Structure 1
């Protein structure tokens, strides 16, 4: 049974043993008559206990009490209306021994699966809360960070973050396990490390392994690992999610994808895989026509493959798009690449000069 400190808010009056039992029963979803039967009380006594609990904890209503019961650990996801009472048995205290069973994808539209089945993550604000936790996997995110990241300058009039987290916990729970995919402490919320697997972490791990393979003198393996990392990007990043955090993360993740693709293309060119590198860079340049480092790298790859005219044409397209959409001339880097191609300066076209 949690201690009084774990069931009371800072500055609130502590709950007595029977009040904790009533709060736990409320958190399990029992009605007053069911709580009365389970705890050998009258319904009036249960109603009176609930009024005192709400007053002591400063909670608005029964729904808020349910959320608080989850947050303070009195109730765990998976405790149904008639299974949450009584002493914790082996099922409630057993820890998860299997690997992660919930997969979360942020490298595209937000998605989550449990045992291969897609999960309904609710409306967009609730999805944005989950995305914030997934993007910060491994650390605790405070309620204020969630409010700032998901609602920005227009915060909700009520404290809805715990309600969203409560619903997400129910959606993400693994079978009958009492463990929660979303943990909570006084600092805020976090994804439990061994309960959820996020594709962003997998992507970064693959990129790290690719770098190690290249340093070990195995560029073929490095290219293969980069390909696997890039395959994790699927569709528009965080499509439709509201809030400043989602907007900034779209930009960051897009830049990360570009950097990985550039690194892969550099290694492909070193292996003599010109056609593959050009195809990848061409697709990337079409997707990001204003990205000058990508254009410069594509120009260098085309020139190395004996396609000087095509390389110069890339410069012409980039110059027009920059003038039409941004009203600026090509950068010094892009102009220098163009001049080196005109002069046939192969030594000056080292890829490290045009990648980030």
Structure 2
């Protein structure tokens, strides 16, 4: 029977046993013998023996040639290499953790990256490896290609080669529970992604809470909407993706920071409509210190201060914001901020007019 070969003329991996293919895949991902032994639960001397047989069977001179061949034959290309059926993952996890509901892996990116497996923190490696996991967590509904990960995590400094498969392989190894043979990271023909139903990402939780808040607001339950916006904001633990490198992390930091500002404004607006003026002023004052150039925040704070009878302070906010806009950006205040000032001044004039009429 003829032996199947690759386009390069070497025997394909189909000539290897199932276990040899697992070892060869790990080798192609750049793991050393000890790491392969630990990952596959094999004695290190057995791994060394199998690697020798693999090199001989495939006609490869050394480990470097083996890594190249693993890519040539598609073994470590996302979706084309051997993989376990992710459908079995949920059942395996339930067998080991019991029927308790909820995800068994939680990934938090609304601050420094934090990963908890079955309630215990997990070290997911160096910062670039953390950034790969964060990229997957930020795309929960689709697969992320190796090219996207390279561009998003390394940008113009993309190292090429097999760095992404190596990092993903190590993450898959870290994100297993006990003796569970599978990981929460799946592979398909489009790339890598997180298995649905067993992973919870704080960004997704925020969006669920915001959706629920919008539903409550439309139903006329503004108190519930404010409560849900508050819960969403509590999930922010500092600068999103703090310390993670790459263009994707930088863009997401800006987006998520903007999301937090917008949610704080919606919450404050709801508090004002409920008459909870002091709470709105406290939240907006803290936000204005963080965002001194944000005119919508300053305008809303002026409105809240005016509602609280603190008109002089509202005008102070206007003056302070105008100075920062001029000093830092060289621009004049926009229409929104000017309208907020006129609203305060008109209210003062109306109050003075009523005072004179009462005296007469």
Q: Would you say the 8 A contact 1:173–1:181 is kept in 2?
A: yes
Picking from 49, 61, 80, the partner of 2:57 is 49
Work out whether residues 19 and 49 of structure 1, in 8 Å CA contact, stay in contact via their aligned partners in 2: no
Residue number in structure 1 paired with 2:22: 24
Distance 1:290 1:64, change over 3 A: farther
2:267 is aligned to 264
Q: 1:46 to 1:252 in 2, by over 3 A?
A: closer
From the superposition, tell whether residues 225 and 34 of structure 1 become closer, same or farther in structure 2 (CA, over 3 Å). same
Distance in 1, matches of 2:157 and 2:52, equals 41
SS of 1:183's equivalent in the other structure is strand
* Deviates further, 302-311 or 14-23: 14-23
1:218 to 200, 217, 221: 221
Structure 1 stretch displaced more, 18-27 or 312-321: 18-27
Q: Which moved more, 1:122-131 or 1:10-19?
A: 10-19
Structure 1 stretches lacking a partner, 5+ long: 78-90, 347-356
Whether the aligned pair in 2 keeps the contact of 1:70 and 1:76 (CA below 8 Å) is no
Q: Does 1:306 align with 2:309?
A: yes
Deviations 1:295-329 (A, max 9, x none): 00000111011111111110011011111111111
- Map of 1:117 onto structure 2: 120
Separation in structure 2 between the aligned mates of residue 171 and residue 158 of structure 1, nearest angstrom: 22
Counterpart CA distance in 1 for 2:169 and 2:290 is: 39
Determine the structure 2 residue equivalent to 1:83.
Answer: none
Match runs of 1:140-179 below 5 Å: 140-179=143-182
The equivalent residue for 2:46 is: 34
Match of 1:278 in 2: 281
Q: Which runs of 5+ in 2 are unaligned?
A: 27-35, 350-360
Q: Secondary structure at the match of 1:344?
A: helix
Q: Does 1:107 pair with 2:110?
A: yes
Given that residues 78 and 192 in structure 2 are in contact (C-alpha distance below 8 angstroms), is that contact kept between their aligned partners in structure 1? Answer: no
| Secondary structure in 2 matching 1:152 | helix
Label 1:46 to 1:179 Cα distance change in 2 as closer, same or farther (>3 A).
closer
> What is aligned with 1:60?
68
1:46 Cα deviation from its structure 2 partner: 4.6
Alpha-carbon distance in 1 for matches of 2:111, 2:47: 45
Query: Using a 3 Å threshold, how does the CA distance of structure 1 residues 92 and 298 change in structure 2: closer, same or farther?
Result: closer
Q: CA deviation at 1:44?
A: 5.9
Count of paired positions:
322
> 1:177 Cα shift?
1.6
Matches of 1:231 and 1:322 in 2, distance apart?
A: 30
If the length of structure 1 is used for normalisation, what is the TM-score? Answer: 0.80
Contact 1:36 1:46 in 2 (8 A): no
Aligned-pair CA distance for 1:257:
0.6
2:296 is matched with: 293
User: RMSD value over aligned CA atoms?
Assistant: 3.5
Alpha-carbon distance in structure 1 between the residues aligned to 2:213 and 2:82: 45
TM-superposed CA distance for 1:196, in Å, is 1.2
Q: Distance in 2 between matches of 1:302 and 1:332?
A: 19
SS in 2 for 1:178: coil
Residues 78 and 187, structure 2, Cα contact 8 Å, conserved in 1: no
**Cα distance change, pair 64–199 in 1 and its aligned pair in 2 (3 A):** farther
Q: Give, in whole Å, the separation in 2 of the partners of 1:207 and 1:345.
A: 37
User: In 2 relative to 1, CA 331–13 (structure 1 residues): closer, same or farther, beyond 3 Å?
Assistant: farther
Q: Does 1:15 align with 2:23?
A: no
2: CA distance between counterparts of 1:301 and 1:233? 24
Q: In 2, Cα distance between the equivalents of 1:174 and 1:132?
A: 22
* Structure 2 Cα separation of the partners of residues 112 and 10 of structure 1: 42
TM-score by length of 2: 0.79
**Structure 1 residues 140, 36: CA separation in 2 closer, same or farther (over 3 Å shift)?**
closer
